[in-house]
Amino acid sequence: MEYKCLFFFILICGGNATLDLAGGPKSNGTFPKDFLFGVSTAAVQIEGAWNVDGKSESIWDYLIHNNQSFVRDGSNADVAADSYHLYKRDVEMVRELGVDIYRFSISWPRVLPTGRTNVINPKGIQYYSNLIDELLKYNITPMVTMYHWDLPQKLQDLGGWTNGHIVDYYIDYANVLFQNFGSRVKYWVTFNEPMQTCLEGYGGTYRAPALNRHGVAEYLCTHNLLKAHAGAYHLFNDTYRSLNGGKIGMSLDSNWAEPKTNSSRDKEAADLYLKTHMGWYAHPVYSSEGNYPPELIRLVNEKSRKQNYTRSRLPVFSEAEVQYIKGTADFFGLNHYTTYLLSMADKEVGAIPSHENDVGIVRIQDSSWPSRSSSSWLKVVPFGFRRLLNYITKNYNNVPIIVTENGYADFSGVADHARVSYYSHYLNALLHSIHEDHANVQGYFAWSLMDNFEWDDGYVSRFGLYL
């Protein structure tokens, strides 16, 4: 037991002797006996072999190869950490950390080169089968993320997540994964950070496919993605759970929203941020009511009418769809890194139309919050982590929470003092949330196992526990 949590044990016991930043004094608590400690990665960021053994082009391959300036250092993910060829070394690193579980993603275009099930790539299936078997050989539990942003470009050519047919395409893809790996995989994540896919990929320019069709595409994308998630859940629940057991959920990214001041307006802004960002995806799945948050429905409807649209730009779920989507998760996967200060906008913000303009709030960070990260936004604010866990527990029916990502980006090198400090503070805040706030947290994954291709940051930002 002592060895299985070795990395995290060292951070808690050997980290900062004095823990401050309002995350709580050094906790004397311990993690529950069955608490899961793990590390996470994603296919695009580590596998390389972008066109090897039958893999087709993903939307990230297409974007980077056709727009080299998109990436901060001009790099690409063609080789990355070469995990396609070095997966045994990856598993060895997981073993060296002494953790229980490894979260990795499966590349849709590696398994289904056309995006559909008319062509199933045996070499892609074999690669993931080998990785899973290697993990199980050393008693490491695999957690599979089914979609971590790498849509087959062939499906994007048909409209990607704005095309309603993608719901069926995704469910077919999920069925291939359940058929081939379900007897060996007990934890499934349908989507990683869907808000990044839809808000930044379809409504913005920071994530592939970088369409920038703001005000419409992010809502269409989300609508289809939530239906795809629910379809995969019901397929798992109705067909595979009784055969193989296991759990399935979704990983949502969220910052904590702190009011900029104690004014009622700023408190309203912080609450609105959580409801219209994380809640955009969480409320349909995890709330007792289901459907989109009422605040988001009202705001988009009001803005749409003012902008002379015939109907709201936010699509409407039928009552049957609300019920179909509600409750479709066994756990709440949370990806969290930092905190922002929120206030209500006193004028129009963002492009018109856009989700940003619809919501009408402004976020900043306190300049006194510490950070020496290679990612300027990554401020060290452990109290925000604790408050977010408490918020999820209270607002979503005491749902089991698995922190599927938390980590710190540094520059290259092995002098990781800032990273150690970050983990020490955040793990300490996590202990307080479990023992004092009674947050139902059942696992924690560090991001990430090794330095990797960090999207538009390329290889500048280093999140890895290994180089």
58 sits in which H/E element: none
Contact 225, 194 (CB under 8 A): yes
The residues that are catalytic are 193, 405
Question: CB within 8 A of 306, min separation 6: which ones?
Answer: none
Contacts 24+ apart (CB under 8 A), 162-166: 162/202, 162/213, 162/217, 162/220, 162/221, 162/224, 163/224, 164/224, 166/224, 166/228
- Residue bearing tokens 């939307």: 59
Of 9, 15, 14, 10, the closest CA to residue 418 belongs to 15
Bridge partners (DSSP) of residue 333 are: 251, 402
Q: Is 98 left (phi over 0), alpha (psi -120 to 50) or beta?
A: left
The first and second tokens of residue 137, run together, are 């050989």
The span from the CA of 407 to the CA of 412, in Å, is: 15
Helix 166-181 and helix 217-235, axial crossing angle in degrees, nearest 10: 40
The span from the CA of 39 to the CA of 97, in Å, is: 9
Backbone angles phi, psi at 360, to 5 degrees: 70, 45
Question: CB within 8 A of 104, min separation 6: which ones?
Answer: 40, 41, 42, 43, 131, 142, 143, 144, 145
Helix 166-181 and helix 122-137, axial crossing angle in degrees, nearest 10: 50
Exposure string over 219-253, b if 16+ CB within 10 A, otherwise e: bbbbbbbbbbbbbbbebbeeebbeeeebbbbbbbb
SS3 158: coil
Q: Is residue 139 packed enough to be buried (19+ CB in 10 Å), middle (13-18) or exposed (0-12)?
A: exposed
Q: How many other C-beta atoms are found inside a 10 Å radius of the C-beta of residue 255?
A: 23
Of 14, 2, 50, the closest CA to residue 428 belongs to 14
